[in-house]
Amino acid sequence: MHTITPFLWFDTQAEEAMNFYASIFKDSQVLNISRSGDAVMSVTFQLGTQKFIACNFGPAYKFNEAISLMVDCKTQAEVDELWERLSEGGEPGRCGWLKDKYGLSWQIIPQALGELLSDPEKSQKVMQAMMKMSKIDIKLLQDASGW
């Protein structure tokens, strides 16, 4: 079986970003830091069960919304905490999306959203409610669906 590892391109902030992400997600670990003299070239880290590699390759490329990292949250408290921490210094988006302070896009999505959208009788009302949200609010989605 193949292993797929996201590879993140940073200007000079790979180690800083790795430490920021590791401070937010439980069960995170720094796996490796490669240096050339005093300069950090690349870092390897794990958030939960997902391994990442990040490199400092200069300002040639920037992150955009064409790719995002989706976090599956069990509770509203988890959504709230991750939303607040990841959006600090970044910018909130719509429908559970945000950009962190490095420009990386995230989707902070409660499991309840999938459950509510899977009900054909409620999905349209749930979708309409979600489209008005920035951070997703499970209670508001449930209220909209008549749950």
Instruction: Summarize pLDDT for 65-112 with one digit per residue, the tens.
Output: 999 999 999 999 999 999 999 999 999 999 999 999 999 999 999 999
Same domain, 90 and 107: yes
Same domain, 98 and 125: yes
User: Higher model confidence: residue 1 or residue 57?
Assistant: 57
Query: Whose CA is closest to 12, among 65, 57, 74, 72?
Result: 57
- CATH number of the domain where residue 127 is located: 3.10.180.10
Beta-carbon count within 10 A of 40 CB: 20
What value does the mean pLDDT take over residues 12-32? 97
Q: Are strands 91-92 and 97-99 parallel, antiparallel or unpaired?
A: antiparallel
Q: Which residues pair with 92 in a beta bridge?
A: 98
Same domain, 72 and 11: no
Q: Last residue of a domain, which of 61, 81, 110?
A: 61
pTM as predicted: 0.93
Same domain, 82 and 92: yes
Token pair in block for residue 89: 């210094």
Same domain, 36 and 73: no
Same domain, 110 and 48: no
Domain extent at residue 21: 1-61
Q: Is it the case that residue 132 has pLDDT exceeding 90?
A: yes
Give the total number of structural domains in the chain.
2
Same domain, 56 and 75: no
Q: Last residue of a domain, which of 42, 61, 80?
A: 61
Q: Last residue of a domain, which of 61, 89, 104?
A: 61
Per-residue pLDDT, 69:
98
Per-residue pLDDT, 119:
86
DSSP labels, the chain = ------EEEESS-HHHHHHHHHHHSTT-EEEEEEEETTEEEEEEEEETTEEEEEEE--TT----TTSEEEEEESSHHHHHHHHHHHHTTSEE-STTEEE-TTS-EEEEEEHHHHHHHT-TTTHHHHHHHHHT-SS--HHHHHHHHT-
Q: Is it the case that residue 40 has pLDDT exceeding 80?
A: yes
Same domain, 9 and 48: yes
Same domain, 50 and 69: no
